[in-house]
Amino acid sequence: MPDAIGGHGPPYRFHRSRRATMEDSLTQIAKAVVSGLMMGMVFGLVALGLTIIWGVMDIVNFAHGEFLMIGMYCGFLTATGLHVDPLFGLPVAAVVGFLLGLACYYGLVRFLLRGPMVAQLFGTFGLMLFLRNVALMVMGANPRGLHQGILVGKSFIVGPGIIIELTKLAAGGLSLAAFAATWWLMNRTKMGKALTATALDAQAARYMGVPTEKMNALAWGLGGGTVGVAGALLVNFWPVDPNVGLLFTMIAFTTVALGGFGSIPGAAVAGLIVGLMINVAPIWDALSTCLGIECLRGGQLHEFKYSFVYLAFFLITVFKPRGLFGWKY
Amino acid sequence: MEVLKRAFDFSDFPKVDLWVAGAVAVFLLAFPALPHSSLAMATMIQFLMFSVYGMGWNTIGGYGGQVDLGEAQYVGIGAYTTAVMMIRWDVPFWVSLPVGMALAICWSFIIGYPLFRLKGHYFAIATIATSLILKDLFESWSFIGGARGLKIPLKGDMPNFLYIQFRQDYYYYFIMLAFFFLGILYLNWFRHSRIGFQLRCIRDNEEVARSLGISAHWAKIKAYATATAFVAAVGSFHACYNFNIEPEDTMSLDLSVLIALMAMLGGAGSLWGPILGAAIMVPMKNYLGAWLGARAGLVGIDLIIYSTIIMLVAAFEPRGVWGLITRLRQRRRV
C-alpha cells in the first residue's frame, strides 16, 4: 500500500533547541492537517456516489471501490494510451462510470431488489469480485501510476515547510466543483427533486408519477459517474492496482455513515473529517513532540491509520446512526 | 438425556432426505479408503472445514437472519490461540481448542453487545469493520508474529495425536469428520431448542418476537456466540492442519464472505444448506483454480466464473439450492 494519504511521521531531531522543535512540530501538524483535508475532499467525492445510491435505494454497493478502481484505470489509460494530459481522463471516467452504473443497475441490481437484503449484499459483493478479477485479467496485478502531466510532480510551498502537491490540491478543488454540481443537480432541477422524492418514499413518488425505476437507474449512473471522476483525480497521485477497491469501499462506507445516509453536504464534511482521521498518527506524534510528552508518541500508530476509519464506522453506526446530517436511517 | 434424544431426532425430515444423508455419511466415512488424488483429499478436508464454518454462520446468519460478514476474525482468534499456545507454552491442541473457543466467545460478547443494536446492512458492514480492525491489530502485534504470521514447529514422532501432527492426510480428515458430525448433531438440537425457535421468530418479525416476550438482543448475542465457537474450533484445526498461519489468510474479508456465501448458496436457515453450499463451492473453487488458474493470461478467470455464479444466485434464487429443492418438491406435491 503506497503511503500516499498521510505524511510520514516527523523524523527525530536530536540536539536542537526546544523552540526549534516546537516550531518544527507545529509545521508538521499543519502539514498533516492540510494533506488530510485535501485527501478528505477526494474521499468526500468517493463517498458521494455511494450516498446517492444508498440514500435513494437503500441498497449497499460493495462494488463501489471497484467503480473507483475502474475510474482510476480510465484516467490512467486515457493519459498513457492517447498521450494526453491526465486531466482529459476526467470526462472519460465520468462517462464510463455513468454507463457502468447504468449497466450494473439494469443487469444486476434490478433483480436483486426483488430478493431479501442478503441477496443484495451478496449480489453486489459478487459484482465486486467480478470487476476486480476482470481488471486483474485485463490489466495485470502490477500497480500503475502516472508520472507526467501538467499537475504531476509539481508543488508549491505555503509557509515554512508546508508543501502542497498540485495534484492533491487540484483533486480537492475539482472535488468541490463536482460536489457543487451534484448539489445543484439534486436541489435545483426537476430531475433532482424526483430523485429526492424517490429516496424519501418510493411508493408515494410512484403515485405522483415519478418514474422510480428510471430514477433508480439514474442514481446508479450518477453514483458511478461521480466515483469515476474521483478515480480519475486520484490516479494522479495514487498508483492503481486491481485490489485498490476494498480500502476505498470501507472509507466510503465510513464517510457515508458519518455524514448521514443520503446527505450530500454530509458526505463533503465527513470526507474532510475522515481525511483528518487518517492523519491522526502524524498529528498526534507532532503534538506530543510539541507538548514535550514524547513518551506518549504512538510508535505503531501509523499501522493503524485505517483502523481508525473502521472503528469510526463502528462507533458512528452504533451510537449515532443518523450521522451528522442524515435524515434517513 | 433429553438433549441427546433431541440431537438425534431427525424425524421431521422426509425419508428421502435421510436416505441421501445416510448415503453421504457412508461415503464420507469410506472416502479415505477409496482411491483418490491428494488434491481430492485436500478438497474433501476443505469441504468439511467450510461445512462447519457454514454451520456456525447458519446459527446467526441463517436462523437468526443477521448477516455476519466478519466470521474470519474468529477463525483468526481460534487459529492464533492454538498456534501461540503451542509455540510458546507447548500446549496440546486438545487443550488450546476449548481455550480458543472460549476466547472467541468472550470477544463475541464484547463486540456483540453493541453490534446487535444495528440491523441489516449496518450490522453487516459493522462486522466487516470489527474484523478488519482485529486483523490490523494482529498484523502489528509482534507477540503473535505480526504480518509474517506463525509457523508451528514439528514434533519429532509423527502420528502425534496430542498435537495433531500427522504425515498422512487421512488423520486430519477423520478429525475434521468428527467435528462435522458433532456440528450436525448440535445444529439438529439447536433447531428444536428454545433459542432456535426464538431466533426464527426474530428473523421473521422482530417486533412480534419482542411482543411475545423474547429478548431479541440477548437471543442474537447467544446465537452469535454459538456461531463464533464453531468457527474458532475450525480455526484452531486450520492452524494445525496448515502449520503456517498469517493474518492475511486466516482473517481476510474474502474468507468471511466465502463462509457466508457458501451457507447462502446452499440455503441459509436449513440444516443441510451450508453443507450443500460447501459441497458445491469448495470443489468448484479448487478444481477451477487448478485447471484454469495455472494457464498463463487467464489469471483470475476462476474467480470471474465464481463471482458470476454468486451474482446469478443472488439475483434469481436468493434462498439457495435448498430453496430450489424445496420449491420443486412443493410443485410436485400440488
Task: Summarize the confidence of residues A213-230 as an average pLDDT.
Answer: 89
Q: Cell 435448498 identifies what position?
A: B322
- The answer to whether B306 contacts A123, with C-beta atoms less than 8 Å apart, is no
Of B260, B124, B269, B106, the C-alpha closest to B196 is B269
Rounded to a whole number, what is the distance in Å from the CA of A320 to chain B's nearest CA?
11
DSSP designation for A68 = H
Q: Is A15 a domain residue?
A: no
- Looking at residue A296, its pLDDT comes to 56
Give dist(CA B46, CA B183) in Å, integer: 15
Specify the number of domains making up chain A: 1
pLDDT band at A329; cut points 50, 70, 90: very low
Q: What is the CATH number of the domain that holds A305?
A: 1.10.3470
A301 touches chain B (CB under 8 A): no
Assigned domain for A2 exists: no
- Per-residue model confidence as pLDDT tens for chain B (334 residues): 777 877 777 777 888 888 888 898 898 888 888 888 888 888 999 899 999 999 999 888 888 888 888 888 999 999 998 888 888 888 888 888 999 999 999 999 998 888 888 877 788 888 888 888 888 888 877 777 777 778 887 777 777 777 777 777 888 888 899 999 999 999 888 888 888 888 888 888 888 888 888 888 888 999 999 899 989 999 999 888 888 888 888 888 888 888 888 888 888 888 888 898 888 888 888 887 777 766 655 667 777 888 888 888 888 887 888 888 888 888 877 6
Which residue would you say has higher pLDDT here, A284 or A174?
A: A174
pLDDT at A98: 93
CA atoms of A167 and B293, how far apart (whole Å) = 38
Q: A158 forms bridges with which residues in the sheet? A: A162
| pLDDT tens-digit series, residues A51-81 | 888 877 778 888 889 999 999 998 888 888 8
Question: Are the beta carbons of B56 and B215 closer than 8 angstroms?
Answer: no
Most A CBs within 10 A among B118, B122, B295, hence the mutation to make, goes to B122
Q: In this structure, are strands B244-245 and A162-165 parallel, antiparallel, or unpaired?
A: unpaired
- 3-state SS assignment for residue B1: coil
β-partners of residue A156 are: A164
Q: What is the pLDDT of residue A2?
A: 42
A-chain residues within 8 Å CB-CB of B139? 303
Q: Is residue A17 in a domain? A: no
Domain membership of residue A227 (yes or no) is: yes
CA distances from B271 to A64, B39, B188, B219, B259 (A): 34, 28, 7, 19, 15
Specify the pLDDT at position A188: 86
Per-residue pLDDT at A316 exceeds 60: yes
* Predicted local distance difference test score (pLDDT) of residue A6: 42
Residues B54 and B274 sit within 8 Å (Cβ to Cβ): yes
- Of B121, B132, B318, which is closest to A119 when you measure between CB atoms? B318
In a domain? residue A87? yes
A160: three-class secondary structure by DSSP: coil
A300 touches chain B (CB under 8 A): yes
pLDDT at residue A4 above 60? no
The C-alpha of A208 sits at a distance from chain B's nearest C-alpha, in angstroms, of 29
Tell me what the mean pLDDT of segment A159-188 comes to: 79
Average pLDDT over every residue of A282-299: 65
Model pLDDT, residue B291? 77
| Residue range of the domain that includes A129 | 25-319
Name the residue among A119, A307, A318 with its Cβ closest to that of B314.
A119
How many H helices and E strands in chain B?
Answer: 15, 2
